[in-house]
Chains A and B, each alone.
Chain A
Amino acid sequence: MSRLLARWAECTFWLARYVERAENLARILEVQEVFARDLRGSADWKVVLDINADTDRFLAAHPEGATADAVLRFYLVDRDNPTSILCDLRAARENARQLRPLISTELWTHLNVFYNRIAALLPAEVGEHRLARLCAMIKEGCQTHAGIAAGTLYRDEAWSFAQLGAAIERADQTTRLLDAKLLAFAAREDEEPGSAADAFYWMAVLRAAAGYQAFRRRHPHGLEPRQVATFLLCDASFPRSVAANLGIVSAELERLRRRYRLRRAAEVLERVEGLTTLLEPRPLEKVMAREQGLHELADSLQRGLATIALDLAERFFGWAPSPSAEKPAPGSAQSQTTGGSASG
């Protein structure tokens, strides 16, 4: 068996990543809808733009402002918005198209049909009142992809790169989900942290991450903001937590290093370990004590994850080492399209 093509490694990484991104964007839209349903209505939709660093681009195209329908169309089906779910899925499908010789026909067919379904949505089907159903459909499509991948993808190096892509994206998105809550709630100057309204927001975040039941396994009673944040960041048993996903990243890098003798995986592993230390109890406690601490942590994690992705690109995908960690390599069709770290 020949070695995995560098381009295929990159494509498997981004295929998994784009699908994971689409799923998480659906989760974030869904939770915003819950927030908006509370009191403030449309004001909350700007939050989604902020956490994805899309505000300027959006306002340039929509001078009328962030109405629910405009933001939803922007993120669901806007062909001109590279961060829309439609564009995510198209990018996923184009990566899958390159990977056709490697992946099962089932995996390809599902993605092809799924994409075509989203691409065929009519404007009337994307309104706020249909959002829950639509998000459920998108999540299900993405999860089916992950399921077919788990059930059919050959467990060689490509599998590891797919796992790396999915885990890095999921970790990143969980930090954005946290951010979404922090920003949405901060916009409500009338409410104090720890109030009933605050608890409502935390609950919504947990549910968006499909983590309420899991949280209850860990904390049978109460819903302390600090507990929820710690759970989403650090609980190694919760599959959407940052720590769990950094664990997957480490394990896959270790597998590449040992089983496939890719020595350079060790270099990336060091970076992951560095990032993991941010989530240890003591530094975390300090973070929580500061007012903007959590938001800053989310930021650092996002930057760290972006650097790991770049490390992988330089070591395995054949990218030339870039002088600055922020600068994506030229000519890459798969470069990350959400605006990097949250605060830009």
Chain B
Amino acid sequence: MQGLFADYAADPGVFCEMRDAALANGADARACFERLDRLSLEELRARAREAESQLYDLGVTFTVYSERTAIDRILPFDVIPRVIPAAEWAVIEAGVRQRVRTLNAFLADVYGPGRVLADGIVPADLVRFNPQFRALVEGFRPPHGSWVNICGVDLVRGPDGRFLVLEDNARTPSGVSYVVENRHLMQRSFADIMRDLPIRPVSDYGRRLHEALCEMAPEGVLDPQVVLLSPGVFNSAYFEHVFLAREMGVPLVEGRDLVVEDDRVSMRTIAGLERVDVVYRRVDDDFLDPEAFRPDSLLGVPGIVRALKAGTVAIANAIGTGVADDKAVYAYVPRLVRYYLDEEPILPNVETHICREPEALRYTLAHLEQLVVKPVGASGGYGITIGTRASKEELEACRARLLARPEEWIAQPVVELSEAPTLVEEGIAPRRVDLRPFVITGKASWVLPGGLTRVALRRGSLVVNSSQGGGSKDTWVLAERRFAATRPAGSGPGP
């Protein structure tokens, strides 16, 4: 690299997405960066500024509401894409499919016969006493056995270049709107760079999602009415709810728009009540139905669980999927893959110590300064202690928390996340990234050929969550070139 990336220095001992993946994996992946390399830093900055102002104008923002003001913030966007060569993607795709099949089998089991608990594969109390376990869906059987219709599997890549599963998001994973919007942005600002590269399109997501949701409709419904249930404009992911409703062409409703009468869900329209068959809810279980869960919830729909049980409506994702993406249950997923599918896990877990187990707790306390300690229930990067970076006081506080309530924590070794060249103040420098692919499952699973690449914008930081100051990158999954790339230029027409 002679131009833009001439001064780029990947960190030693860290896997670099450009140097170690893209440049080492075929002409197309290399071409992505060779073309970018021809731009000057000033040109890149100008295009980045243009992209950012478009985000503001389009209102591609998440809104931070305080008492008096509403501040629109954009998710910081880095214009240097993350490129995933076709061969690597094939592994990811197969791996996340396998993961979703496993989670669905697990959910059907724990809310059904409970074999996995009886066989002692997963401790029964870990499931039954899990705050995410919903006894009221015991015996429930969603169409096609699909509990997790939308899954966002968080992947990280360690120094050896292997992708590892960090987390299964099986409740209401968000971020897919950024995948599609980031691509639009890149197509507007970097059309010259992208021309003729075999970048797989991500624009199909809404159609695929709508299809899968229709497949979940109660039996006998020919033309299902799908709605997207959002907590409303004050939710930080509201932009995404809008995006998905638009892409699918379905009403974006709030709890107050829906009503349950005679165990049927309807929406309030100008002409009265109209029937609803499928609810893609972006409201957590707890808030979904004040009759069944938190009685103080104003976001939900009283009676919707009754309707679900009466079989008149489908809810996606199903109620109770949180028990499958629990951080403690996560540790057992590789064993679940073998148990249910009789296959070896394609994507391994990050090594995990379940602090409820005495030996794991002893190990964790003994190696605290080398481990990441995470609460099992929370999400969004809150409550995490990274042992290698914590102060003495922070480590002691963490130790005290572990001793007080060990069952609320897991510990993992610090994964030195892979890094990718990123435009920052000083120029182009390595920043750590993760990857969230999205899997949609109705009758069968479909994996969006792309994903949300989150990037930690502070040097060396391993926390990529947007609530912790992370940004995102467009993710270019490349298609296999069957003919053109393997044939020298000008060698005549192909077969």
Hey, which bits of chain A sit against chain B, CB under 8 A? 2-9, 79, 94, 97-98, 100-101, 105, 108-109, 112-113, 116, 157, 161, 260-262, 316-318
- What are the residues of chain B within 8 A of A157 when measuring CB–CB? 270
CA distance A243 to B59 in the complex (A): 38
- The 8 A CB mask of B219-250 against A (1 = contact, 0 = none) is 00000010000000100001000100110001
Find out whether the CB atom of B59 lies under 8 angstroms from the CB atom of A108.
Answer: yes
- What are the residues of chain A within 8 A of B57 when measuring CB–CB? 109, 112-113
Output the nearest chain B residue to A93 by Cβ-Cβ distance: B59
B86 within 8 Å of A by Cβ? no
Hey, which bits of chain B sit against chain A, CB under 8 A? 56-59, 68, 225, 233, 238, 242, 245-246, 250-254, 256-257, 267-271, 274
Find out whether the CB atom of A262 lies under 8 angstroms from the CB atom of B59.
Answer: no
CA distance A8 to B274 in the complex (A): 14
Find out whether the CB atom of B269 lies under 8 angstroms from the CB atom of A97.
Answer: no
Q: State which of A5, A108, A161 has its C-beta within 8 Å of the C-beta of B257.
A: A5
- Pick 30 A–B contacts, CB within 8 A, sort by A: A2-B225, A2-B274, A3-B269, A3-B271, A4-B269, A4-B270, A5-B257, A5-B267, A5-B270, A7-B257, A7-B268, A9-B270, A79-B68, A97-B59, A97-B233, A100-B242, A101-B242, A101-B245, A101-B246, A105-B58, A109-B57, A112-B57, A112-B58, A112-B59, A113-B57, A116-B56, A260-B270, A260-B271, A261-B271, A262-B270
Find out whether the CB atom of B256 lies under 8 angstroms from the CB atom of A7.
Answer: yes
- What are the residues of chain A within 8 A of B253 when measuring CB–CB? 5, 7
CA distance A101 to B238 in the complex (A): 11
Q: State which of A3, A100, A108, A112 has its C-beta within 8 Å of the C-beta of B270.
A: A3
Dominant secondary structure of chain A at its interface with chain B: helix
B218 to chain A, nearest CB (A): 17
CA distance A5 to B57 in the complex (A): 27
- What are the residues of chain B within 8 A of A318 when measuring CB–CB? 268
A-B pairs with lowest CB-CB distance, top 5: A3-B269, A100-B242, A101-B245, A6-B268, A316-B270
Dominant secondary structure of chain B at its interface with chain A: mixed
- What are the residues of chain A within 8 A of B225 when measuring CB–CB? 2
Output the nearest chain B residue to A97 by Cβ-Cβ distance: B233
CA distance A4 to B252 in the complex (A): 11
- What are the residues of chain A within 8 A of B242 when measuring CB–CB? 97, 100-101
- What are the residues of chain B within 8 A of A3 when measuring CB–CB? 269-271, 274
Output the nearest chain B residue to A1 by Cβ-Cβ distance: B249
A93 to chain B, nearest CB (A): 9
CA distance A30 to B67 in the complex (A): 33
CA distance A157 to B271 in the complex (A): 10
Find out whether the CB atom of A100 lies under 8 angstroms from the CB atom of B268.
Answer: no
Find out whether the CB atom of A2 lies under 8 angstroms from the CB atom of B238.
Answer: no
CA distance A213 to B257 in the complex (A): 47
Output the nearest chain B residue to A158 by Cβ-Cβ distance: B270
- What are the residues of chain A within 8 A of B267 when measuring CB–CB? 2, 5
Output the nearest chain B residue to A80 by Cβ-Cβ distance: B68
- What are the residues of chain B within 8 A of A79 when measuring CB–CB? 68
A329 to chain B, nearest CB (A): 13
- What are the residues of chain A within 8 A of B56 when measuring CB–CB? 112, 116
Q: State which of A2, A113, A116 has its C-beta within 8 Å of the C-beta of B251.
A: A2
Find out whether the CB atom of B270 lies under 8 angstroms from the CB atom of A109.
Answer: no
CA distance A116 to B242 in the complex (A): 20
Find out whether the CB atom of A5 lies under 8 angstroms from the CB atom of B251.
Answer: yes
CA distance A232 to B363 in the complex (A): 84
- What are the residues of chain A within 8 A of B58 when measuring CB–CB? 105, 108-109, 112
Find out whether the CB atom of B246 lies under 8 angstroms from the CB atom of A2.
Answer: no
- What are the residues of chain B within 8 A of A7 when measuring CB–CB? 253-254, 256-257, 268
CA distance A100 to B256 in the complex (A): 18
CA distance A280 to B273 in the complex (A): 40
Known: A101-B245, A101-B246, A101-B252. A5 touches B59 (CB 8 A): no
CA distance A37 to B271 in the complex (A): 52
- What are the residues of chain B within 8 A of A5 when measuring CB–CB? 251, 253, 257, 267-270
B223 to chain A, nearest CB (A): 10
- What are the residues of chain A within 8 A of B238 when measuring CB–CB? 97
- What are the residues of chain B within 8 A of A261 when measuring CB–CB? 271
B107 to chain A, nearest CB (A): 30
A91 to chain B, nearest CB (A): 12
B482 to chain A, nearest CB (A): 36
CA distance A2 to B223 in the complex (A): 11
Output the nearest chain A residue to B243 by Cβ-Cβ distance: A100
CA distance A2 to B253 in the complex (A): 13
Output the nearest chain B residue to A96 by Cβ-Cβ distance: B59
B244 to chain A, nearest CB (A): 9
- What are the residues of chain A within 8 A of B68 when measuring CB–CB? 79
Find out whether the CB atom of A6 lies under 8 angstroms from the CB atom of B246.
Answer: no
